[in-house]
Amino acid sequence: MSSVNYDLKKIKAFVFDVDGVLSCEVIPLSPEGDPMRTVNIKDGYALQLAVKKGYKIAIITGGYTEAVRVRFSRLGIEDIYMKSEVKIHDFNHFIRKYGLSYEEIVYAGDDIPDYDVMKLVGLPIAPADAAPEIKDIAKYISHKKGGEGIARDIIEQVLKVQGHWMDKEAFGW
């Protein structure tokens, strides 16, 4: 049973922001001034399982650190857009690449740079600690804060509804 008020059987793709969504909104800095991010292990499990199941996944972030690219590519994610100045451009590239329609896409964002994309997709979602403007347009607000499992929350619900959660591929990396 899903707590999302949307037909999750339509979903074919997931798009995630990083800072404030897949990573906590407070980011430590290295001595060189580079941002260091935390990631949620259960998010990682859900992301790699969704890739195995054939869902299209994109990461669209304004930031850039090699660690982010390495982390998500190791989970099987091929579409990683970094230094995204205007996220709608990278989003449009992603949907054209796979021939996706807006209603087939979940987009998880937490702040103003995510707004334009969230207004387009079928299922815009936000972490519990998202900016008020983002919560206002989200069709689902997770009970999870950014960096604390929002990807797992939505991917698990979609995969359960579509019958892909606890099958033989679920028991390995």
- CB–CB of 48/164 below 8 Å? no
The pTM (predicted TM-score) of the whole model is: 0.94
Tally of CB atoms within 10 A around 106: 28
Task: Determine the length of the chain.
Answer: 173
Intra-chain end-to-end CA distance of the chain, in Å? 25
Q: Report residue 53 as tokens.
A: 């199941």
The domain ranges of the chain are: 8-171
Fold of the domain built from segment(s) 8-171: Rossmann fold (3.40.50)
pLDDT per position in the chain (173 positions), as tens? 678 989 999 999 999 999 999 998 887 788 888 877 889 999 999 999 999 999 999 999 999 889 999 999 999 999 999 999 999 999 999 999 999 999 999 999 999 999 999 999 999 999 999 999 999 999 999 999 999 999 999 999 999 999 999 877 777 66
- CB–CB of 59/37 below 8 Å? no
β partners of residue 57:
14
